[in-house]
Amino acid sequence: MAANQHQNQEHEQILQEMLQQFQPVFDKNPFGVYLYLDNVHKVCNDKMAQMFGFSKSQEWAATDSFLDDFVSEEDQETFSRHYQHHIAGLAHPLTFRFHGKRKDGTFFLAETDMIPISWRGYPIAYHFVHEVM
Report pLDDT for 97.
97
Report pLDDT for 56.
94
Give the number of residues written for the chain: 133
Report pLDDT for 106.
97
d(CA 73, CA 6): 33
d(CA 67, CA 132): 19
Are 62 and 42 spatial neighbours (Cβ–Cβ below 8 Å)? no
Q: Which residues contact 35 (CB under 8 A, 6 or more apart)?
A: 15, 18, 19, 22, 42, 43, 44, 124, 125, 126
Mean pLDDT for each 10-residue chunk of the chain (133 residues)? 78 92 94 91 95 96 92 95 81 92 97 91 92 94
Report pLDDT for 1.
52
Q: 101: which strand partners?
A: 107
Are 113 and 25 spatial neighbours (Cβ–Cβ below 8 Å)? no
d(CA 68, CA 115): 21
List C-alpha distances in Å: 116 to 15, 82, 107, 120, 122. 15, 11, 26, 13, 10
Question: What top-level class would CATH report for the domain 2-131?
Answer: alpha beta
Predicted structure pTM score = 0.88
